[in-house]
Structure 1
Amino acid sequence: MSVQAQGRHYFNPQACPVGGVRVAAPKATGRKKAAHPHDLTEVEHDHDFNELVIVTAGRALHHLKGFTYPIAMGDVFLLQREDRHYYSDRDGLELINIMYDPALLEMPTDELRQIPGFNAMFLFEPMYRRQHRFESRLHLAPVDLQSTTRLASTILDEVEQQRPGYAIAAKTKLFELMIALSRQYDRTETTEGQSLLRLGSVIGELENSYDQPWTLEDMAEAAHLSPSQLVRVFRKATGQTPLNYLIQLRIRQATRLLEDSDLNITQIAHQVGFTDSNYFSRQFRRCMDATPTRYRRAHNYLAR
């Protein structure tokens, strides 16, 4: 029966929703010893947090959601909350596990999603893991593994030593690690990884060019998928259709202009990609439960 690893055993959810552990290779004594308190490495379990796994040495079999994949030094992958897994047949396996709760972390999602490799690795690879038989995972060359290990180790040091400011430092270094891994994924050359990068680039293009006259057909062409395939995959990864994602993105940008500028409603609508200010107002009210004018009055001191 699967057990659950709980975030409170690895980090303080209120103070700093980031933690981490090193999992060392078992000693050659025939006796197994826990690598850290609450060590579930060889016990089937899931989590109430996300876990970023960096394989720093050795190899093993990874049993994940009913399937088995070989892993080896240089592999990096994300385990999402409630992903049921464990390891077996460990041969010198050493890991760094970085744990975090995305619901508490206040991640800079808009900025991260501008990187195709972030979308490929953190959104789409977990979805396609079974179909791709784990071939779309990130695999680091030795020199990249060294730099990644150093960066991950600074996160472990911060949460272990808990010096003043450690919570901000740990979160900042986690974002730095995510960006570094995303950029490394951008360079992946596997067929499976390239297919995920094409999907990731669609989100990146939307984040960077939300004001352009996108159609579903444009997005599907960029992803090398049919429109219906893109809708299905996109909804599974983000919870929204591509066009609804674009509308929400435009509305988020509009809220910033309503808060920080004195542009009129029509100007803001056009600046974020809406050609019809009435349609913009309807979509804004649907997303924000307020008209643009009412939202501005509540949030923009220039309008008070």
Structure 2
Amino acid sequence: MKTLSLHELSPFVRLCGEFQLPPGFRRDPYFIYEHEFIYVISGEAHYQIGKIVHRLAVGDLLLVPPGVLTASWNDSKLPLRFLAVHFDFHFHGNYQNLPPRSSRRITSELARVHQPPPTTPRLLLPRKVNVADEPGVKLLLERIIGEVAHKPPGHELAAKACLLELLVFLQRRDFRKQPSPKQSHQAVELATRFLESHYSRPLRLKDIATAARLSPIYLERLFKHATGRSPMAYLSQLRVGRAKHLLGRTDMTVKEVAGAVGFEAASYFTRVFQKLEGVSPMRYRRMTRGLEGVELAVSLTRSPKTGGGPHFTIPTRRS
């Protein structure tokens, strides 16, 4: 994928309007050749982008990428009303000779082969964000739709300007809400305490950010700067640390240990444990149970040979 510099950024609106999906609506997997902003005016719906499902509610703004299989459905009792703006970050031709964008037999391979060369700017844009408290976002989208629909003189420039203003807003949104250094320290502490108290539950970055009273994007940046790890990496290490205690001190099965520390699948737990500790959970248990009277020292440094996770140093017995 080509990366545009900000000097090359020149968004081009292809299609836009206000739309409505009735209750029970379901659209089969499809893909688009351009990017798309979706803003929910009323109602609810689900959008699946790739393997990730996003639940949309009033005030949510979703950015749908090109060339990724997407499905949508409305299983609520109310219709979904939304604004949609399809655009390119840089104009790269028309799409008349390309195949239809919706098909029951569509595949990721087809999407990749037939889409125009995608471009993305050097911007940090959220996939989904709620902007219900930012009425200016809806006004910008409505103005784009109005310019394209009525085509007054200079409407292309006006639509481009509105889209650029929206991109600037999304780029600056987290920075406008940056806490002070003291508040940043408190936010990291809140996130850490939340993880230590709730590690056994299914957690998403959004849950941790809510506890820290920050946006997910800014929390991840702040947490990594303070600890050297992302919140989710810290969570994995915390869970593995608790799992080591259970493996060494209880007779719980590996599956039971995995569930107790927050892993939904034992196989995934085993992969994470192996990556961080250098051995499988079962081997760790055998090693700890087989060293009666000998302390098992665990090095927190990376293996000098493999560059992998922490490794074990087993002291020799004294004769």
| Bin for the TM-score computed over the shorter chain | 0.3 to 0.5
Higher fraction of helix: 1
**TM-score, normalised on structure 2?**
0.42
